[in-house]
Structure 1
């Protein structure tokens, strides 16, 4: 039996080929997919009709890089450096995590995404201390209802055979069904810049053997490390593997063109890259080199977790470049990066990120009857420069309403928050 939902009379923004306002229009959703977009669509028999007149309707945001498990240590290090973050979070706090802490943090972090209109998240999960930690992480993503790419980063010790066996187990146990589920898998590789060459080769070759894309922190550790890491991939015939480069700040124009020529993508996390001193904004340079570029929150330990803050950071940092090279960077560019371009970076461009009929109905409805968004002249500019989480009225993920009238649905939020607070207290004990 077909299930139908009609969003009636919204100010619809599509994102392909570039963000543009379609005008007052309806959006018809059938069986979880966008069926039609246009004015005065007929409501099928039995369809639920939601009046969104005067409200902005657009594709859900895509967060291309987030350590979702860290929701329980939010704002722990607001004024630190990258070194301080690595030392405190990965060196001191993460070893304290039990599987139930991973579940609590990941579920709350994924729900935070949905609450703020992020319907797809690439979860760079470097908290896989044991198989139980991994199982809890995947369970939380699935229970959240968000669309997610689970970036598997094995931290269970230096035994490379054990790494291979566990990565294979996870792939076969959870992601071999081919059922088009909302959670898919990628290899979150430490190498070549953050580990030794032997481990790096094992990670990338296992990704190839298991037919997994790679998401990797590369390009954010200085110019020499950036070039050395890219040369490592070229020398080992790995650079043509589907790869998302996170923090590509220190790549030269030539390196970015090499990445583009091999089908690579970039995830920029502008707020964190500025806050932790990782490097100057790469958004404009990467896109100019032909590299699809998405946006990410990275970590709520040191930065914001909503896409509105991230879009504003991207816009201002790029336009504020001292050489003036970012003056042509527009709000439409930013919105594209937060939606369809981010979906392409996540490997989901055919699934989500635009209003194209046939795609999954991952949609956001924004209120415009608040003081911060009233009298909207340019809806695209309003999304990027004025809106905030409290404007997110309705969210659909795969056609399922997960937020309505400003309230998350289908979750016991009291229980979610209580579990997160209990986990945060335990993890933070004696850590100061």
Structure 2
């Protein structure tokens, strides 16, 4: 007789949990295991294998018919913008820059940063993204940063704050006593990390050097948008390399329009790249760069960028990345009159990017990113007995990327804590988050005014040139 399914109230801190009889994608040796178990004790994965012996009192979760994989890792999300979800769905990149950087970004208060982060953090947990780097480039003062951290303290996810301030120069704001005092008190833990987030536009004197040196001297990683068409080019990377600040502590976001020389510099200095495929395809930063990164052996992670444009669906991120890479390979081959016979990028590769690639980008590869005994227990069970798309499961990695979706997320575990079970979050009600966001939206809308609010959401179309069609209907001359 099967063991009864546990009730949510049975998931108590410190009680061991075992997943039984699932397909386990370890993203590590030994790879994909069939009919396997995973044991969690406290916050740690303690055993992986078949028919595991477990301590008395261990809660059992039936994973049969499902796929167990590591929690996913998002290495670049502007979480504060989530409160305006979908507002910029028809934007070009220039409209995004104008709205936030030049016009309306300054109306956001600390409580609006909090609202966006709170909703984004809850959504991350709900969709199996157990670790998120918040590329928080609207932190005008430490009070704004406190608001971002407040949201993280209320949601049981693993977060990294990428501290940024797009309204100021990084060599200036990283040198202020207020910023350095705040950094000195930052409560770093296994659940909360810190990076500095800023960009390097073209310049001859490279003033950003001081910010890089501050980060290096204080052991803080840097995340920077690079290779963005028309914004951050090879010049910035040349200056970084010349100054000796390109290291393995830097993540380059997008990296979509760089020269071979720049990719070589990233590879030589051990950098990583965060690829936001849907963003790059839609906003025009450049063609998603995994097809280039493979040539140089540069490790890639995945990211969603911002929900002001796109969803936070990480299955979509994996699917789009794999498809974009293969599409470019085909286009390159066709341009030479060739045909691709074997796909170079596989489903297992984008799963690695979504998990271990993200962990490596954050310097956390020894803690998270794979189902390995001794690592933190960040896990995701994909199982939906009522979904036609979840049967049969023949090729597990391809199934995750091309068949499964967020509706199939059965269980999410963060740091050993079960935060979602049988498709429902445990103790994480949406209502108070929704109300907080509604108040923020109402405020921002009131500050913009109805005219600017509507125009911001619906940018006018430029006239398009039509090509005359030489083929016209002709009557049958014989009739």
**TM-score, normalization by structure 1:** 0.93
Residue aligning to 1:212: 220
Aligned-partner SS, 2:332 = coil
Distance in 2 of aligned mates of 1:158 and 1:268:
25
- Deviation, 1:106, is 0.2
Match runs of 1:88-99 below 5 Å: 88-99=99-110
Residue aligning to 1:347: 363
Q: Residues 410 and 166 from structure 1, CA distance in 2 versus in 1: closer, same or farther, beyond 3 angstroms? A: farther
Aligned-partner SS, 1:122 = strand
Can you give the 5+ residue segments of structure 2 that lack an aligned partner in the other structure?
A: 1-12, 334-339, 454-479
Distance in 1 of aligned mates of 2:227 and 2:23:
39
Match runs of 1:206-245 below 5 Å: 206-222=214-230, 225-240=232-247, 242-245=249-252
| Contact 2:224/2:253 (8 A) holds in 1 | yes
| Contact 1:72/1:105 (8 A) holds in 2 | yes
- Deviation, 1:331, is 1.1
Q: Residues 260 and 186 from structure 1, CA distance in 2 versus in 1: closer, same or farther, beyond 3 angstroms? A: same
From 175, 178, 181, the equivalent of 2:190 is 181
Distance in 2 of aligned mates of 1:308 and 1:264:
25
Aligned-partner SS, 1:323 = helix
| Contact 1:214/1:242 (8 A) holds in 2 | yes
From 126, 147, 171, the equivalent of 2:137 is 126
1:288 is aligned to 2:295: yes
Q: Deviations over 1:155-196 (max 9, x none)?
A: 564595553223322322124x5xx43010011123x22789
Residue aligning to 2:435: 418
| Contact 2:376/2:416 (8 A) holds in 1 | yes
Distance in 1 of aligned mates of 2:370 and 2:46:
13
Aligned-partner SS, 2:115 = helix
Q: Residues 333 and 233 from structure 1, CA distance in 2 versus in 1: closer, same or farther, beyond 3 angstroms? A: same
Q: Residues 311 and 159 from structure 1, CA distance in 2 versus in 1: closer, same or farther, beyond 3 angstroms? A: closer
Distance in 1 of aligned mates of 2:172 and 2:332:
49
- Deviation, 1:132, is 1.2
Residue aligning to 1:336: 352
1:67 is aligned to 2:90: no
Residue aligning to 1:43: 54
Distance in 2 of aligned mates of 1:36 and 1:297:
32
- Deviation, 1:382, is 1.2
Match runs of 1:301-380 below 5 Å: 301-321=308-328, 322-324=331-333, 327-369=343-385, 370-380=387-397
- Deviation, 1:43, is 2.0
Distance in 2 of aligned mates of 1:247 and 1:42:
45
Aligned-partner SS, 1:127 = coil
| Contact 1:154/1:167 (8 A) holds in 2 | no
- Deviation, 1:93, is 3.3
Q: Residues 159 and 118 from structure 1, CA distance in 2 versus in 1: closer, same or farther, beyond 3 angstroms? A: closer
- Deviation, 1:333, is 1.2
**TM-score, normalization by structure 2:** 0.84
Residue aligning to 1:247: 254
Residue aligning to 2:279: 272
- Deviation, 1:400, is 0.6
- Deviation, 1:402, is 1.1
Residue aligning to 2:405: 388
- Deviation, 1:9, is 1.4
| Contact 2:249/2:271 (8 A) holds in 1 | yes
Distance in 2 of aligned mates of 1:155 and 1:84:
16
- Deviation, 1:197, is 5.0
Aligned-partner SS, 2:46 = strand
Residue aligning to 2:25: 13
Distance in 2 of aligned mates of 1:129 and 1:256:
32
- Deviation, 1:24, is 0.9
Residue aligning to 1:298: 305
Q: Residues 400 and 194 from structure 1, CA distance in 2 versus in 1: closer, same or farther, beyond 3 angstroms? A: farther
Distance in 1 of aligned mates of 2:178 and 2:211:
12
Distance in 2 of aligned mates of 1:349 and 1:417:
34
Q: Residues 205 and 247 from structure 1, CA distance in 2 versus in 1: closer, same or farther, beyond 3 angstroms? A: same
| Contact 2:203/2:235 (8 A) holds in 1 | no
Residue aligning to 2:180: 168
Give the aligned length.
426
Q: Residues 371 and 286 from structure 1, CA distance in 2 versus in 1: closer, same or farther, beyond 3 angstroms? A: same
| Contact 1:27/1:38 (8 A) holds in 2 | yes
Residue aligning to 1:151: 162
